[in-house]
């Protein structure tokens, strides 16, 4: 049985926002629809909207990135899409869709707008850059023997209802420079009413600025706007079964979010995503302070991956709250607490309680000593306001290592500093820790890294070319980093047979086009969080 032409057309349009965006739209004309104008067709009641924009500048920049292997993979994926979805229809992307399709907005409209059992209905608003070509396409559908098309008048606008061979009906209406498509007729009628003067999504408070700016990214390809986050969560969770429902604690946290706008664009560094989240009520000022970044400066240039942030104790307390009312999380929490109790430690009071400052965790490339087998080790730097509690916990751990682990715990001097090492017979030191200052503790797995972490490296990560290329354009005042040096990861993977075996060739081709990944989060005020991610290509 052949697939619905209208459905396939919709799928083809939606796919413009995915990995094949560049392939589909690389030769598109400069005249494309605007996200704010598209939002003027969408009813005000919409709880979410996504705009896919065939931005010529962004697509030109994408053409500059990527390895030949990655470009070949994307080309093959596009050909496979055409074979599986368009081959059985008489729809040709180049001839039937590309000549008239501009930007595409997908909006989720509450079911109250339409008499439907679904929580939301989808409205697709397609920008028309060539009305004649769009009319030729709709007439082609009308003449298709496999689909029944009937026309009706609503408020002076012609609505075409297309019924495919399975009995499914889709409604289409041309509204100025836009084509409105929906599987539910009353949703298209609502779009007609909006086009003729009813309140639109573009009229909601803060909508024009948020939608038009696309979260502030250059050369945007995709904009996602959630004007009422709590309403979106409520709509979807109301339809979940009792087993699928989110716990009350999780819902309460999510409902503190007022709105979200996400933009994805392409600039000279690569693909950039920015998400701006507005809260319904302000956070305490101390929770929005930026990190100093001093812990990051302790890591060497050989660092393959780094995660930094603030207040692990606060994060742990939030996890405990989230576990309330969630049996799965509660099981994990109890398992962690029991494991800690089994060795004589209180996870809440003796472990996380003193981890209240900045922290950084990194995987560091090294082929020395016991790290020869793995090619990397791990290290962590923790700042605390309660050194006495931290030292008491470490003393307990040393005792456990000797009495239950059969290890040797020895202290030694490195310059003026004291280091504690855990040593195993026949292997030597494999774990160590020491104080870098009055309130800064480091721990390291792998003897070579103990020496590295004892001092600020002359050839440090922060000043390296790779780090600056990936995170240099991200906000400097932030609450921490996620950093991945993909070049180093791929070199490591190619050097170790096991890693080489488990990585599929397609994944290798895509990852080989990525130089690195950087993510930061920051607060511009007590109500506004900004998360930014760069996929450096």
User: What tens-digit pLDDT sequence spans the chain (537 residues)?
Assistant: 333 444 333 333 333 333 333 333 333 333 456 788 899 999 999 989 998 877 667 666 666 666 566 556 555 555 665 555 444 455 566 677 778 888 889 999 886 644 555 657 889 998 888 878 877 776 776 666 556 778 899 999 999 888 867 777 888 898 988 989 888 899 999 999 999 999 999 888 666 777 777 778 888 888 899 888 888 777 777 666 555 566 666 677 777 888 889 998 888 888 899 999 988 889 888 888 899 999 999 999 999 999 999 989 999 998 898 888 778 888 999 999 999 998 889 999 999 999 999 999 999 999 888 888 888 999 999 999 999 999 999 999 999 999 988 999 999 888 778 899 999 888 888 899 999 988 999 999 988 898 889 877 778 999 999 999 999 999 999 999 999 999 998 888 888 766 666 666 666 666 777 889 999 999 988 999 999 999 888
Q: Which two tokens stand for residue 216?
A: 């502030």
Which H/E stretch holds residue 192? helix 185-195
Counting Cβ atoms within 10 Å, is residue 423 exposed (0-12), middle (13-18) or buried (19+)?
A: middle
CB 536, CB 516: distance < 8 Å: yes
CB 24, CB 179: distance < 8 Å: no
- Separation of alpha carbons 443 and 73, rounded Å: 42
pTM here? Answer: 0.82
Neighbours of 105 (CB within 10 A): 29
- Separation of alpha carbons 161 and 148, rounded Å: 8
Q: Which two tokens stand for residue 266?
A: 């392409």
Residue extents of the structural domains in the chain? 5-213, 284-311+355-529
Buried b (16+ CB within 10 A) or exposed e, 429-439: bbbbbbbbeee
CB 529, CB 523: distance < 8 Å: yes
Number of H helices, E strands in the chain: 18, 20
CB 36, CB 211: distance < 8 Å: yes
Residue 274's nearest CA partner among 534, 536, 537 is 534
- Separation of alpha carbons 481 and 468, rounded Å: 12
Neighbours of 293 (CB within 10 A): 16
């Amino acid at each position: 049985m052949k697939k619905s032409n209208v459905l396939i057309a919709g799928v083809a349009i939606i796919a413009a926002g995915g990995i094949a965006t560049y392939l589909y739209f690389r030769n598109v004309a400069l005249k494309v629809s605007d996200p704010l104008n598209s939002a003027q067709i969408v009813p005000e009641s919409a709880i979410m909207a996504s705009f896919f924009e065939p931005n010529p500048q962004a697509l030109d920049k994408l053409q500059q990135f990527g390895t030949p292997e990655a470009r070949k993979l994307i080309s093959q994926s596009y050909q496979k899409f055409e074979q599986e979805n368009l081959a059985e229809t008489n729809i040709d992307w180049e001839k039937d869709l590309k000549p008239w399709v501009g930007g595409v907005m997908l909006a989720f409209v509450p079911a109250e707008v339409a008499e439907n059992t679904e929580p939301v209905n989808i409205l697709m608003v397609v920008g028309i850059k060539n009305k004649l070509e769009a009319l030729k396409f709709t007439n082609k559908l009308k003449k298709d023997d496999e689909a029944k098309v009937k026309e009706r008048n609503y408020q002076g606008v012609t609505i075409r209802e297309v019924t495919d061979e399975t009995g499914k009906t889709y409604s289409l209406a041309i509204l100025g420079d836009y084509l409105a498509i929906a599987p539910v007729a009353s949703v298209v009628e609502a779009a007609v009413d909006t086009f003729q003067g009813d309140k639109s999504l573009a009229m909601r408070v803060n909508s024009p600025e948020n939608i038009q700016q696309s979260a502030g990214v250059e050369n945007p390809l995709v904009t996602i706007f959630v004007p009422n986050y709590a309403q979106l969560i409520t709509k979807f969770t109301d339809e979940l079964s009792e087993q699928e429902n989110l716990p009350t604690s999780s819902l309460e946290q999510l409902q503190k979010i007022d709105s979200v706008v996400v933009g994805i664009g392409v600039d000279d560094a690569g693909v950039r995503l920015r998400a701006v989240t507005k809260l319904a009520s302000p956070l305490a000022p101390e929770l929005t302070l930026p990190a100093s970044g001093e812990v990051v400066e302790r890591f060497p240039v050989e660092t393959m991956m780094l995660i930094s942030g603030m207040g692990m104790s606060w994060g742990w307390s939030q996890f405990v709250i989230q576990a309330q009312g969630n049996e799965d999380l509660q099981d994990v929490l109890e398992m962690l607490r029991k494991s800690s109790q089994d060795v004589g430690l209180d996870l809440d009071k003796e472990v996380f309680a003193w981890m209240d400052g900045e922290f950084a965790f990194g995987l560091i490339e090294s082929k020395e000593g016991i790290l020869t087998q793995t090619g990397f080790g791990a290290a962590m730097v923790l700042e605390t306001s309660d050194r006495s509690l931290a030292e008491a916990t470490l003393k307990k751990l040393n005792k456990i290592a000797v009495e239950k682990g059969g290890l040797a715990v020895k202290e030694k001097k490195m310059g003026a500093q004291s280091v504690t090492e855990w040593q195993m017979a026949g292997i030597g030191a494999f774990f160590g820790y020491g104080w870098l200052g009055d309130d800064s503790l480091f721990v390291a797995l792998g003897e070579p890294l103990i020496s590295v972490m004892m001092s600020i490296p002359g050839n440090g990560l922060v000043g390296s070319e790779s780090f600056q290329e990936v995170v240099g354009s991200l906000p400097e005042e932030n609450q921490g980093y996620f950093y991945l040096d993909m070049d180093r990861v791929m070199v490591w993977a190619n050097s170790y047979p096991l890693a080489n075996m488990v990585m599929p060739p397609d994944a290798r081709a895509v990852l080989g086009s990525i130089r690195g990944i950087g993510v930061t989060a920051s607060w511009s005020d007590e109500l506004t969080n900004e998360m930014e991610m760069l996929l450096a290509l």
